[in-house]
Amino acid sequence: MSAKQKEPNKKPQPPVEEFAEQIDTTAGPPVQHFTPQERASIGKAVRQRAPLDSHADWTPSDYRVDPVTLLEEQAQTRVQELVPIRYGRMMVSPFTYYRGAAYPMASDLAGTPSSGLRVQACGDAHLSNFGVFASPERELMFDMNDFDETLPAPWEWDVKRLAVSFTVATRERNFDAKLRRSIVLTVVRNYREAMRRFATMKNLEVWYAKLDIATVLAKMREEGNAKMAARLESGLVKVRSKDNARAFEKLAVTSGAEPRIVSDPPLLVPISELVQELGQEEIMEILRGILRTYRRTLAGDRRRLLESYRLVDVARKVVGVGSVGTRANVALLVGRDNADPLFLQFKEAQDSVLAPFAGRSLYKNQGQRVVEGQRLMQATSDIFLGWVRFIGIDGNPREHYVRQLWDAKGSVDTAVMLPQGFDIYARMCGWTLARAHARSGDRVAIGSYLGKKDTFDQAIADFSEAYADQNERDYQAVVDAVKSGRITAQEGV
């Protein structure tokens, strides 16, 4: 073939730009990559914007919105008959109020100093939203476990919400001021030191970092806490048993050929009782369509696994404290036979409480917002984690995220935890939050901003005591609102 002859059937190649566009038309702007030295200097520079000791201050603004007003605003989009249950649960103590008051606190945090460095924030990082669950490899892991409010936001907001939760919880236990401060300092110190360690690690090392319970137990024994490790190990027996089979025992009954979810209103109400104008088969056909839509958000292997299960019943379930009133449903599916159950939780996702202050989510579906945030922050996530949008029984579009109801899940009981237990738990939570933030934010800049000294730790300890005082005032405001008849609370449910 002469040099002038063309190769047969060889098509001209498009320019690089055109080729890239054909591959992905939603690639977005190019990502900037700075050197570690440049990132560290950014962290030090932003101390001018928000000095480390400035985080100590909490002074409510003269224009601060009444917390009851914010809770009433949230209630407008919730199931009205369930809202009194939410208020009733929040009225139990200042700590239960705090658990449900993510929105009022987000409003307050928006006015506090910030370095301007953002991460994928949890939005509700109080100590009860950490816990144990089983990984897909069936190892017991410790991690954050609630992402309803997740959104990109200043990392300081999560740290402050976590630290204050320890102050509020230990006040409820009547720990003295010195002990409370020591525990809060442990939380923040472990966050700071972990973030600085993550700043020195390779990207994949950070991504693969995890805190499994076997490592926690080994560390406790190494530090001479063998008795505490034994008590924890004993408690994990119950955690491991909290699975789909256990959920079936508590929530379902076999009546005839098909198992059914039991009726226990108002906490658990089968869908057939909520939608009485439709026949059972008509209801199930609608629900199967919703399940198929959700199935598309799963990876191919998980989709195939889900297809091996058959939907048999759905019920509305009241969950948590802050979530009460949002539309949460549990779906019962069976696999090989009725002794092979799978419970999925379809939980409504509304706008994050951070959205008015940090900006709206880039995801159109709030369920996807939760799922993508969870995958980014957790070391390992539920294999059935997905999302769906459908028309609710009230005729309005609803967005949900989906996960297993129980998968060896366990959380701490702060009402019985000893000071030594709080200290260990504080270390675990501080490290875990730092790891979650390091996966999405600039860990080098944040670590540089925090520095080697404990200036930030001391500032957050001061803030925690001041905001715990505010929390008690806000709790009393809710109690007074119930007494005056402004809001209605249903206690003991």
For 101-138, the pLDDT digits (tens) are 999 999 999 999 999 999 999 999 999 999 999 998 88
> What number is the average pLDDT over the span 47-63?
95
Residue 262, classified by CB atoms within 10 Å of its CB into exposed (0-12), middle (13-18) or buried (19+), is middle
Residue 78, classified by CB atoms within 10 Å of its CB into exposed (0-12), middle (13-18) or buried (19+), is middle
One-letter amino acid of 77: T
Residue 395 contacts by C-beta under 8 Å, 6 or more apart in sequence? none
Instruction: Report the percent of the chain where pLDDT is more than 90.
Output: 76
Q: Please give the pLDDT value at position 23.
A: 45
Q: Please give the pLDDT value at position 257.
A: 79
Higher pLDDT, residue 438 or 257: 438
Higher pLDDT, residue 343 or 325: 343
Confidence category of residue 451, pLDDT binned at 50, 70, 90: very high
pLDDT score of 28 more than 60 = yes
Q: Are 221 and 231 in contact (CB under 8 A)?
A: no
Q: Please give the pLDDT value at position 410.
A: 83
- The domain ranges of the chain are 36-240+413-484, 243-404
pLDDT score of 391 more than 60 = yes
> What number is the average pLDDT over the span 336-360?
95
Average pLDDT, the chain: 91
pLDDT score of 26 more than 70 = no
Q: Are 80 and 484 in contact (CB under 8 A)?
A: no
Higher pLDDT, residue 9 or 294: 294
One-letter amino acid of 410: G
pLDDT score of 163 more than 60 = yes
Q: Please give the pLDDT value at position 382.
A: 94
Question: Hunting for tokens 């034994």 — which residue is that?
Answer: 230
Helix or strand or coil: residue 349? coil
